[in-house]
Amino acid sequence: MSYVLTLVAAREAMTLTQPVIDQVREAVAGTRTPVILSPGEAADIPGLMTDDLSAARAALGGAPVDVLITRERGRRRRLLVADMDSTIVTTETLDELAGFAGLKAEVAAITRRSMEGEVDFCESLRERVALLRGLELSALEAAWRRVALTPGARTLVATMRGWGARTALVSGGFTFFSARVAALCGFDEHRANVLLDDGVRLTGEVAEPILDRDAKLAALRALAHARGLRRAATLAVGDGANDLAMLRAAGLGIAFRATAVVSAEVANRVDHAGLEALLFAQGCPRRDFTE
């Protein structure tokens, strides 16, 4: 079985030069000529006989370059399942919402523990939402105005849809935000939790059942089954413990700016570049991106 190693540099931090590419190619014993996907930014090194990334990362010596590996065949995936908070958007939307109740630090601390897998996701979500009881619904719109897309989010979705992939935003956050993010990015569909309210204020409750780690995995499997796709044709991306099951199950699971527990479990990681790195990992040159 033959593999392709993909190097993606953080463009604002460094340029991916030919000497750097050659250095990595020698370290991993790539058997064929590298393919430039984006000058100074991304390159494929084909012809590897192993999917071990340690030699490539060691050769880079801590440079801000992401290293991803895929099988040479079938690189372009037909299904994208993406987490929302701290993945497709740069923030944790629940933490931002809590800021309007004066509780951002307290809620963010619980969020961090949940993302690292230190506490049960469902229980932590109920705990955080309970703290927001009585918050006026206008705070949701105010929190939405603070949401920013991660660089490359729109491009990732548009480009994959362009080659016929189904794209789904599957979030442990809330539909109020996921519906807007999905529309902004062009996702085919979105799934998330529902915040309950009395028409004026939040009740401090979330609708059951909660969309958690198991539900994300189930969504990946159901979406693939609906399109008759094998596991190898799927791509999942996320950052927290709640995403681990779907990242492991996908044909290509990518940890994006992930927590320590996720980074330790998922070989393919994007720590420096934007979400365009997921397109490069599928062998897509920048000239073929849909901006």
**pLDDT in the model for residue 82:** 98
**pLDDT in the model for residue 83:** 98
**pLDDT in the model for residue 269:** 98
Distance in Å from the first CA to the final CA of the chain = 34
Structural domains of the chain in order of their starting residue, each with its CATH number = 1-73 (3.30.70.260), 76-291 (3.40.50.1000)
**Res. 291: pLDDT tops 90:** no
Residue 188 annotated as catalytic = no
**pLDDT in the model for residue 112:** 95
CA distances (Å), origin 269, targets 22, 182, 262, 285: 21, 23, 9, 19
Please identify which of the residues 66, 83, 95, 239 carries the catalytic annotation.
Answer: 83
* pLDDT digit string, tens, across residues 91-102: 999 999 999 999
Residue 214 annotated as catalytic = no
Residue 85: CB atoms within 10 Å: 28
Do residues 67 and 6 touch, judged by C-beta distance below 8 A? yes
Question: Mean per-residue pLDDT for 16-33?
Answer: 96
DSSP characters over 46-104:
EEES----HHHHHHHTT-SEEEEEEESSS-S-SEEEE-IIIIIBSS-HHHHHHHTTT-H
**Res. 290: pLDDT tops 90:** yes
- Per the confidence metrics, is the pTM higher than 0.85? yes
Six-digit token string for 225: 């089954």
Do residues 198 and 113 touch, judged by C-beta distance below 8 A? no
Report the candidate in 108, 81, 79 with the shortest Cα–Cα distance to residue 92. Answer: 108
Higher pLDDT, 1 or 135: 135
